[in-house]
Every structure is written in C-alpha cells, then in structure tokens.
Amino acid sequence: MTITEFLLARIAEDEAVAQRALGERYMVDGGLRWGEVGYETVSDLTIDPARVLAECEAKRRIVELHQSWPVLVEAKPTFEPSDPTDLNAMTFRMSKQIAWATEQEYRAKFGVEPPSAPMLRALASVYADHPDFREEWRS
C-alpha cells in the first residue's frame, strides 16, 4: 500500500463517519446538540460533520494534486569538448537532460517516493495510530 492509497482510504473512512453524522441531533443539557454519531465534543470543542466533509474533500484534492504534480528529474550534466580535433581548445559544451515525472512515474522509475512526499507524510501523520500506517511515513 502506498502512502497515497493509505491517505485516500483514511479520508474515505472519515468522510463516511461524517456522512452518517449529518442531520442526527438530540437534546442534551436542555439544549440542542449533536448526538453520539454527530458532533464529537471534547471539552468545549465541537466539530461540525459538514466541516469534516469539507476537510475530507480538501485533503483528497491535495492528494490528487500531489499525484499529478510534476517532479523535475535531472540527469548529471555531461561535458564534451566543443572541437575534439583542436587539442589547444579550452571550450567545452555542457548538456543537461531534464524531464518531468508524476508521482507514479517517479516511483516507477526510481523505486522511491518523490521529493514532494513530505507533504503527504504530513497529512498521514494524523493517522499514525492506524494499523496500516508505516513507520517510514513518520514526518
């Protein structure tokens, strides 16, 4: 499982809980509050399921942008004499090859996460207690 797949699965789980919580209210302490599957209350903190859904959408968009975000791939420069027949020439040509790769292309070509992976590790860090979380994803 890649970090991208892990994040999309956790976002879907959060989204499902928030979807179930929408619209379910009951009376607590004489006032209207969200019930057990609605707002989660920690001390004075109240979390709106609609906001959780918006956060899920924003996180999903960040992951999707990361998947298609171009990563610059550079080859080491090569140096060649500009005129190999002139032994006194001190002029050299330098060529540098560059290319753009998506997250998937970069991983397929080099077998490692792209340089932009710390962004996804930061998003994944809130799920560090999940059994599918990998130690190498710690920020």
CB-CB contact of 41 with 33 (8 Å): yes
Taking the CA atoms of the chain, what radius of gyration do you get in angstroms? 25
Check residue 12 and give its pLDDT. Answer: 94
CB-CB contact of 63 with 104 (8 Å): no
Check residue 113 and give its pLDDT. Answer: 81
Alpha-carbon distance 67 to 121, whole Å? 14
pLDDT digits (tens, 9 = 90+) for 83-107: 667 666 666 666 677 888 888 888 8
Compute the residue count for the chain: 139
Give pTM, 2 decimals.
0.65
Average pLDDT, the chain: 78
Task: Tell me the residue type at 88.
Answer: N
pLDDT digits (tens, 9 = 90+) for 33-50: 544 444 444 444 467 788
Alpha-carbon distance 24 to 136, whole Å? 39
**130 pLDDT tier (thresholds 50, 70, 90):** very high
